[in-house]
Chain A
Amino acid sequence: MQQPDNSTLLVFRQPPYGQALARAGYDLALAAAAFDQPISLLFMDDGVWQLLPEQDPSAIEAKSVARTLDSLPLYDIDSVYVETASLVSRGLSVEQLRANVLLLDDTEVGSFINGFGQVITF
């Protein structure tokens, strides 16, 4: 899965609302897409919690990460990947997640990440 040299992978490893990291990641994704930079997203570890449907953070006065995820296709960001092991260890299945995501198993994820020109973690 070799990507072009200017390709960027954003790795989301934190849950959506405990801190502002996820929001910063989406800001970068949308900004990069606006400049036609090739962007892919990988969710692993606690980052997979961002993909749950029916998030309603209004009572904690945060913007919905899930709604931002829904808007990604409008910015031509269709490459959304999830590490299978992170789902399994949390008792999650891909059917429970909202966006259209592609699964990466243990044998794929290392070479997948290795194929990008830049890797930025949130």
Chain B
Amino acid sequence: MLLHAVFTSPDNDHALASCLRVALPDSCILLLQDAVYAAYTNSTHASRLRESGSRIYALREDVEARGLCGALDEGIELVDYAGFVELSVECHAVQSWY
């Protein structure tokens, strides 16, 4: 199982779109840095994430920094840095998207 780590805003480049194009349905997708905007409730990106079949995570520190707490799409799980490490161990490889 791959962990896809996405770093850039979905409205600024194609990193998330390309990730969703190639990610297998049982992948983990972790949103970091400006990629957490994709998790904003009611955004088109959030619904695409939901439909991907992957497990979707967002890094708590980056979500809090941008004032998105309480406005995240349901189905997106918050993880802290320790959770990030656990995901990295659980998955056999990490693919970064930036």
Contact = CB atoms under 8 A, between A and B. Distances in A.
A113 B21 contact: no
Q: Is the interface of A mostly helix, strand, loop or mixed?
A: mixed
B62 to A, nearest CB: 19
Interface of B is mostly: mixed
B12 interface: no
A119 B24 contact: no
A121 B24 contact: no
A117 interface: yes
Contacts of A44: 18, 22
Q: Indicate the size class of the contact surface on chain B.
A: 10 to 19
Given A116-B93, A119-B95, A121-B96, 9 more contacts: A11-B95, A13-B97, A83-B22, A85-B21, A110-B22, A111-B24, A113-B22, A113-B95, A119-B2
Interface of B: 1-2, 14-15, 18, 21-24, 92-98
